[in-house]
Structure 1
Amino acid sequence: MSLQGKTLFITGASRGIGREIALRAARDGANIVIAAKSAEPHAKLPGTIFSVAQEVEAAGGKALALQVDVRDEEAVRKALARANEHFGTIDALVNNAGAIKLTGVQHIELKRFDLMHQINTRAVLLCSQAALPYLKKSGGHILNLSPPLNLATKWFAQYSPYTVTKYGMSMLTLGMSEEFKSYGISVNSLWPQTMIATAAIEFQLGSRESFKHARLPAIMADAAHVILGSTNRSLTGRLLIDEEVLREYGVTEFDHYRFEPDSSDKLMPDLFID
């Protein structure tokens, strides 16, 4: 299930889960397009498109670093065209870029909701539409980092604006899988069973204390690797969970994915996971 020679266009790949997916594919010898806004170092969030490009090359892959704002239609279309020209193909689009604000309707600033909608839902539509001419030729994959459609009211009660934008991504997954069937393109979503220890989560929560209840981004990268390595639409139209994907492919041991492998603390389920 190697991705050697495959070209992956990954949004938000300058850090966190996107970076980890890039490095996992790079170990196979894949071509990685690191498409993100972060061209300059951030004071609190490490990683840029250029630092990840260096890591990809060191891991055995080929890298193309492109500064892209996924809200900008022209920039997205130009970036995909440049990636296709540079590597000769695009085999997978990973819609990883995301925005989060866990606030209810009463207190959410409209500009913050607009940001979440643009980066979460709208960007999946835009990037997928822009990648479609290239994916038609490769019969490739679209992978969205979005959750199962869990309609329990608790997932709407406190932060429905965020929930709506993430569920919009998942509904696009289901729709595109059917719409693109005739092109041989697989479309899936992937979401973590537990909280994932990333700098973005640390920044959101204000500390690393919760990391003892979290897993490393590597579990998402390994699950994404399984999905992107599948062929002939054997996996498509599914809202997948990282642990479930790996169990389907024979993985039974998960302790090494813990942020603190020797910890006995209970893992914290991620949002939208009962």
Structure 2
Amino acid sequence: MASEQKVALIVGASRGIGRQIAIDLAKNGYAVVVSAKSTSDTNATKPFPPDPNSQQSTISTVEREIKEGGGLATAIPCDTRDLESVQRLVDETVKIYGHIDVLIYNSGAIWWASVEKTAMKRFQLMQRINVEGLYGTIQAALPHFKNNGWKARVIVVSPPIYSRFFRGKTAYAMGKVGMSVLTKGLAMDWERDGKKEMAITSIWPASSIQSAATSQIEKTDQDSIKDLRKASIYADAILAMLRAPVADVNGLLDTDEDFLREHEGVTDFSKYSLVEGASPRRIMPAKFPDLSVAEQADEGRRTDSTKLRASKL
């Protein structure tokens, strides 16, 4: 059923932030494909809807929530560690809805510890789900973007690049910063190739957001909830990024709060505090370093490995 609505594919949408993004995009008129590994029998889920940060929240329950709210949604399971699974997800999305207008990569594995305390298997898991999963998903989507006349937006859950981010979580940071490098690099490719209606943007929370990842901390530290925001701030920022001109967001690495302040004029963020009246602590720097250099436009003699290989055949 080809859709005349804009279609958003959200990878990592079973609970927490991903679920909120899916719910809010559907409320704003998008046909939404929700994807993750977890599925369930929604008829057996009681009470419904489930706690959005619990294991009971799956892509199946998110699909049902959206449909019961009058929206259009399809749940398609996917394991981002498996390229064939990723390819099936993207192809099935286009088969059902005809096109993809927005791709949001929220899937992620997290382990914050020193290199000494991060086993190789855990390191490899994070790289496969975080940076490799993102790369594979974009690779699978590119032919469909081309067929759609190169008109699409990509949103990546990855941080601005700055030194303090690596502290105490080097293995995790290697993958997440790699995702941000992909954002920067692909943005420059699209700009160089004249794809004026394509944009890729990275977004990160300025303050901690309640999610499945914070649930364990909340159980052991009740005061920690005062430093949490609702996931709606993230969804609002993404919607604002999708409304913004390509030139404002292509290659941008930003936080939810900063984007809403600078592009939407938001000055009061109190409605996003999980605890009414609380002022969640900002976990990100007030200002990020500028990654550009004076010679930014000077590429010298560009090397294209595909052409070098072709010349040897």
Regarding TM over 0.5, the answer is yes
1:180 alignment partner, SS class: helix
2:56 matched residue in structure 1:
46
* CA–CA separation in structure 2 for the residues paired with 1:259 and 1:56: 23
Q: Deviations over 1:233-253 (max 9, x none)?
A: 442110011011111212121
Residues 60 and 116 of structure 1: is their aligned pair in 2 closer, same or farther, counting only changes over 3 Å? Answer: same
Q: Which has the higher contact order (CA 8 A, sep 6+)?
A: 1
2:210 alignment partner, SS class: coil
Unaligned segments of structure 1, at least 5 residues: none
The residue type equivalent to 2:172 in the other structure is Y
Kindly indicate whether the alpha-carbon contact (under 8 Å) linking 1:193 and 1:273 is maintained by their aligned counterparts in 2: no
2:266 matched residue in structure 1:
251
2:14 alignment partner, SS class: coil
Q: Deviations over 1:166-202 (max 9, x none)?
A: 1111111001111233333100000111000112221
The residue type equivalent to 2:233 in the other structure is I
The residue type equivalent to 2:213 in the other structure is A
The equivalences for 1:63-102 within 5 A come to 63-102=73-112
Kindly indicate whether the alpha-carbon contact (under 8 Å) linking 2:200 and 2:251 is maintained by their aligned counterparts in 1: yes
1:212 matched residue in structure 2:
226
1:18 matched residue in structure 2:
18
- Larger mean Cα displacement after TM superposition, 35-44 or 20-29: 35-44
2:161 matched residue in structure 1:
149
Shift of 1:59: 3.0
Kindly indicate whether the alpha-carbon contact (under 8 Å) linking 2:207 and 2:229 is maintained by their aligned counterparts in 1: yes
2:200 alignment partner, SS class: strand
The two structures have a TM-score, normalised by structure 1, of 0.91
Kindly indicate whether the alpha-carbon contact (under 8 Å) linking 1:16 and 1:217 is maintained by their aligned counterparts in 2: yes
The two structures have a TM-score, normalised by structure 2, of 0.80
The residue type equivalent to 2:274 in the other structure is F
Give the one of 177, 199, 215 matched to 1:202: 215
Residues 144 and 102 of structure 1: is their aligned pair in 2 closer, same or farther, counting only changes over 3 Å? Answer: same
- Larger mean Cα displacement after TM superposition, 33-42 or 57-66: 33-42
Kindly indicate whether the alpha-carbon contact (under 8 Å) linking 1:26 and 1:57 is maintained by their aligned counterparts in 2: no
Kindly indicate whether the alpha-carbon contact (under 8 Å) linking 1:12 and 1:36 is maintained by their aligned counterparts in 2: yes
Shift of 1:45: 2.7
- Larger mean Cα displacement after TM superposition, 210-219 or 180-189: 180-189
The equivalences for 1:1-274 within 5 A come to 5-40=5-40, 44-136=54-146, 137=148, 139-152=151-164, 155-181=165-191, 182-183=194-195, 184-203=197-216, 206-207=219-220, 209=222, 210-248=224-262, 249-263=264-278, 266-270=279-283
Residues 68 and 195 of structure 1: is their aligned pair in 2 closer, same or farther, counting only changes over 3 Å? Answer: same
* CA–CA separation in structure 2 for the residues paired with 1:109 and 1:206: 26
Residues 150 and 38 of structure 1: is their aligned pair in 2 closer, same or farther, counting only changes over 3 Å? Answer: same
Shift of 1:271: 6.0
Residues 187 and 130 of structure 1: is their aligned pair in 2 closer, same or farther, counting only changes over 3 Å? Answer: same
* CA–CA separation in structure 1 for the residues paired with 2:225 and 2:6: 33
Shift of 1:139: 0.9
Please say which structure displays the higher CA radius of gyration: 2
Query: Share of identical aligned residues, percent?
Result: 34
Residues 106 and 123 of structure 1: is their aligned pair in 2 closer, same or farther, counting only changes over 3 Å? Answer: same
Q: Deviations over 1:49-77 (max 9, x none)?
A: 11000111233321110110011100111
Residues 250 and 28 of structure 1: is their aligned pair in 2 closer, same or farther, counting only changes over 3 Å? Answer: same
